[in-house]
Structure 1
Amino acid sequence: MPTDSPSRGTVTRLVEAATAAPSLHNAQPWRFRYAADGGVLELRAAMDRCLPHSDPHGRALHMGCGAALLNLRVAAADAGWCAAFRVLPDPYDPRLLAAVRLRRVPEEESAGDPDGASEAAALAELAAQIPRRHTSRRPYAADRVPDPVRARLRAAAEREGGQLLFASPWHATAVLRLAVDAEGRDFHDPGRLTELAQWTDVEERPAAATGDPGHRPAPFRDFAGRRAPTGGMPGAEDGPPPQLALLSTMEDRPADWVRAGQALERALLVATAHGLSAAVSSESLAWTELGWTVNDPLLPAGQVHAVLRLGYGAEAPATPRLPLHQVLDLR
């Protein structure tokens, strides 16, 4: 039985952790609403931060919100709360992506549910990685991700209903070329290029390098990590193809997109805990005529939602986040 409800301060701290999640172009397409009398925290799509050209079907929006939901659950578990959630709970309100009820779990209830207690502990262990997880599009070292770590990443995605499969060398090369092709197409699509310039920052090319402190050069995507800054990782230019992993679910519905976002973020937090850098690409999937070629015919069928480039690289800086008062409505 529920014992109490979280305070406004607790909800604020949990939402702050949630908003550290990754999203396409760092659009941060989420809004949270908490009504203390009902005890339900709502996760809603922020339609003013959608990307109609880069994300015409809303897949990336749902995945970003799913990643935020996973962070919320992790932070809640670390603070001693159980976050029972429902995805897309209201068919008449598609902007309501999840409803979360937070409650304390009495010790006797935890003792009677060892599986639940184990899952809560596993989530809580990832809390320290939330502020450390940052996307890095820089080159990585050629060191191979060890098999035990790969297994932990796959298990993390599976716990959230996803599947993470590492591409074979030949398939990784093909997928990487596809991502580069998709990035090139983006720069020839006026709508996508406008969204890219509107929503992204440029970490690799500071204003000082342009000779004009007030000039902000046009941003670029570099999933392949081709642009190495000074002092780049040794071995990044030559050697085997990048280590790519494909994140998929069996179905391809909005609920599966939210599920994929949770699986993606859980895998990324586990990767961060093991000292890995990661970059995520969905550009090639957004181009309908290119997306199907991401699938490896030798791997199990499923809908691929994102491609991850994983490896050992320099720590990347954090990207800006919206002030909490813009994303959280406390009632």
Structure 2
Amino acid sequence: MKKGILLVNLGSPESPSPKDVKKYLGEFLMDERVIDIPFLARTALVKGIILKTRPKASAAAYQKIWWDEGSPLIVLSERLQKKIQNEVEYPVALAMRYGSMTIKKGLQELVDKGVTEVLLFPLYPQFAMATTETITVLAEELRKEFFPSLKIESVPAFYNKPDYIEVLSNSIKKHLEGKKYDHVLFSYHGVPERHIRKSDITKSHCKIDKSCCSTPSKAHEFCYRHQCMEVTRLVGEKLQFTEGEFSTSFQSRLGFDPWLLPYTDRTIERLGKNGVKNMAIITPAFVSDCLETLEEIAMEGQEIFHEMGGENYTTVPCLNDDDEFVELLSKWINTWAESPVETN
């Protein structure tokens, strides 16, 4: 069997124009694993309300961070893919869950190269319904319909793998070197609380309180909140942050349902009000810088912090195409190719 790798990231509009942003948001928000309410209600919410107001504002945000080469997330993902391809002997393709760089195109690219066994690699350290799960489910649907003879294996969440924590910690340490900071905030993309409960395979463990994420359970295999908290804890230990010097928050909420707490914008506001003058912020739910990191965190977050009296605000880049990260992913890919059982 000839093996190949499909890296999959979130996606991006074709351009920062309101028209292209509206098209992208429509596909993204109509995903039943992103807004997990009945189809008719989701359609009314997305097409009847959100797409009539949000595209213009989102387009303005994209315009602030758009690069000459295109969408930062796409450009950075392409750089990562090319670097990995230089390190492995197997075909490496890149796809996006939403937008024109579809998973179907990515699978077809590999099949056209003679690939019969694919390692599906969602570029998300933590598992979530709206990220990892929607990728693996769609890939399986496409396999059944268009590539029935293709074998697909998926990379599970790698949030707590020691070598990943090592690479992430090294990157953070490098970018914080020489910078002033009284507090380090780990900001993760938010999800509705109901997503956590839906992903609980025990159907009883997740209470979304201060205890369940630190109490051992099979539920943690698919618990986004636990996995985020673990990254913060493991990196904090690795970098020897002291208690009270670092914390966790969640960003990018949508709608009025309860989302994971505490919220990043309110946490930044609180830290500034409480006298923190120098803060650093890290976004470990993303491996590639994107709208949420470059605009929401780096720009909006800094504005909030300064308004609250803060002085020095440092944003740590995502791993992007960091050489250590490339080396790590390439090692995992080669291990899978040589002995698939060991990578799972």
| TM-score tier (shorter) | under 0.3
The structure with the largest helix share of the pair is: 2
TM-score (norm 1): 0.24
Higher normalized contact order (CA 8 Å, seq sep 6+, divided by chain length): 1
TM-score (norm 2): 0.23
